[in-house]
Structure 1
Amino acid sequence: MPQLLTVVLFTLLAGMAMPCGAALASVGRISPGWLEEEFRHGVMAFGGGALLAAVALVLVPEAIDDLSPGWVVLYFSAGGAAFMGVDVLMFRLRTSASQLLAMLADFIPESLALGAAFAFGGEGAVLLALLMALQNLPEGFNAYRELSDATAYSRRQIILTFAAMALLGPLAGVSGYLWLADSPVLVAAIMLFAAGGILYSVFQDIAPQAKLDKHWAPSLGALLGFVLGIIGHMATVA
């Protein structure tokens, strides 16, 4: 399979996890109510675990080889600061699309990095694509619930919108493959920027919302998300 087609396929599959998560969230509510709450929090925690795996196993390790410590700190911190800025803006606008914007904010730079990773030879690219899909599924789930509860958009409208957003993945991936292949330092900066933003989001949005009083199963969701990341990492480096 031509390398460019591989980039399109992997970024599209990672992106289509968003409408798949939305479709899962649109299924009728689970009974009893406590199980519905536990399941929702478990999905959110799973996404947090997958995000942490992406940061710890792919984004940071792949990026730090090409940069000095000072630049690593700068780009990583800039990502966190940028995501915080989006958070503050969303709070002031009181929009119902905060989860949606957070989902796009890490999907697009990750897709750029994924395309560039394939151009560099594919090392770590397959694992990054897997982790992107693992994180996009629960992010799509949570973003659907947020939009469905706060807007009048229909199930079909939200899922089709998420499917259209998935096309941004191949667009960013092909851009990264074609234009960033000769810029490993820039790719490293993008990876660290995304990693800093993701880490901020995990502790600002996902972890606090995933906690459920007197229920401990959701925390296992975070463990499972990270474990799947470890398995993927071991499979790709073997």
Structure 2
Amino acid sequence: MEFGAVGWGLVVAASLIVGALVAVRITLPERVAATVSAFGGGVLLGAVALELVPEADQQAGLGITACGMLAGTVVFVGADFWLSRRETTDTMRRSRHAAAAGRPMMVSDRTEAARGQSIAAGIVVDGIPESIALGLTVADRELGVALLVGVLVGNVIEAYGAVQPIIASGYSRRFAVGLITAIAISLAGATVLGATLLSDASSNLVGGAQAVAAGAVLAVVSISIIPY
């Protein structure tokens, strides 16, 4: 079981690093990038509907599932609100909405850096509970395919979205890839944690963790993907 946990943790980390390396080599047109993000959002919604929420309800019941989803949503919304108070992040959001409407997107280097940092923060906030939930499915010997695909596709897309603006703002490629690599290591650790230390936890704790992950994923899709 420990070998499986470590193996899947490395897969989770690799998906982030792949996204970062692709961003270093390839720059997608804005609309193509938005389409890819929308696809990733759909996969994540599928993981929530088919894996996280049903499992949480079965393990912990409706009450804990609802509270856990609310907690996960509040954590991400709170982090997003804190980031949105920065003028550069507000400017970034307005620019991306303009791009979605087909208007010119004028951004400064500082705004580009803020955009990358915001996305990187989002990877941590939603990635940790997602990875823990993935580890829990490994511990149950019932690896959720929808959850796995959602995590891996989401990681690649989010890593790409974070690295591109960080590099465009003037930071080195080494810095951008190093930042994503550090986050990847933390998510790999969360996967191992879910599959080992939390594998013998009470069903309420397991279901609650899965519900928190579901809430965070819904918030990420609603705030970071759908509007753009």
| Alignment TM-score > 0.5, same fold | yes
Q: Distance in 2 between matches of 1:78 and 1:70?
A: 12
Question: Are 1:47 and 1:137, in contact at CA under 8 Å, matched by a contact in 2?
Answer: no
2:134 is the counterpart of 1:136 = no
Question: Are 1:64 and 1:188, in contact at CA under 8 Å, matched by a contact in 2?
Answer: yes
Question: Are 1:26 and 1:155, in contact at CA under 8 Å, matched by a contact in 2?
Answer: yes
Letter in 1 for 2:81: V
**Structure 2 partner of 1:59:** 52
**3-state secondary structure, aligned to 2:200:** coil
The alpha carbon displacement at 1:125 in A equals: 4.1
Letter in 1 for 2:161: N
The alpha carbon displacement at 1:87 in A equals: 0.6
**3-state secondary structure, aligned to 1:179:** coil
Q: TM-score, normalised by structure 2?
A: 0.80
The alpha carbon displacement at 1:106 in A equals: 1.6
**Which of 117, 124, 132 pairs up with 2:143?**
124
The alpha carbon displacement at 1:76 in A equals: 0.8
Equivalenced residue count is 200
2:186 is the counterpart of 1:168 = yes
Write out per-residue CA displacement over residues 18-49 of structure 1, whole angstroms, 9 at most, x where no aligned residue.
1211222222545xxxxx12211122112211
Letter in 2 for 1:186: L
Bigger Cα displacement from structure 2, 111-120 vs 3-12: 111-120
2:106 is the counterpart of 1:108 = no
The alpha carbon displacement at 1:55 in A equals: 0.9
**Structure 1 partner of 2:65:** 72
Write out per-residue CA displacement over residues 70-116 of structure 1, whole angstroms, 9 at most, x where no aligned residue.
22211111111111100111112456211111111122112222222
**Which of 12, 37, 50 pairs up with 1:14?**
12
The alpha carbon displacement at 1:14 in A equals: 1.8
Provide structure 2 residue ranges, at least 5 long, that are not aligned to the other structure. 90-113
The alpha carbon displacement at 1:126 in A equals: 5.1
Root-mean-square deviation over aligned CA pairs: 1.9
Write out per-residue CA displacement over residues 179-213 of structure 1, whole angstroms, 9 at most, x where no aligned residue.
2122222121111111111112211121111xxxx
Structure 1 pair 53/15, CA: closer, same or farther in 2 (3 Å)? farther
The alpha carbon displacement at 1:130 in A equals: 3.0
Bigger Cα displacement from structure 2, 89-98 vs 37-46: 89-98
Q: Distance in 2 between matches of 1:196 and 1:142?
A: 22
**Structure 2 partner of 1:158:** 176
Q: Distance in 2 between matches of 1:146 and 1:73?
A: 36
1:200-215 correspondence runs (5 A):
200-209=219-228
**Structure 2 partner of 1:44:** 37
**3-state secondary structure, aligned to 1:208:** coil
Q: Distance in 2 between matches of 1:80 and 1:70?
A: 16
Segments of 4+ moved more than 3 angstroms: 124-127
Structure 1 pair 125/92, CA: closer, same or farther in 2 (3 Å)? same
The alpha carbon displacement at 1:165 in A equals: 2.0
The alpha carbon displacement at 1:139 in A equals: 0.8
Question: Are 1:111 and 1:172, in contact at CA under 8 Å, matched by a contact in 2?
Answer: yes
**Structure 1 partner of 2:21:** 23
Q: TM-score, normalised by structure 1?
A: 0.77
Q: Distance in 1 between matches of 2:167 and 2:2?
A: 36
Q: Distance in 2 between matches of 1:127 and 1:207?
A: 20
The alpha carbon displacement at 1:117 in A equals: 2.1
Letter in 2 for 1:147: I
Q: Distance in 2 between matches of 1:119 and 1:138?
A: 27
Q: Percent identity?
A: 34
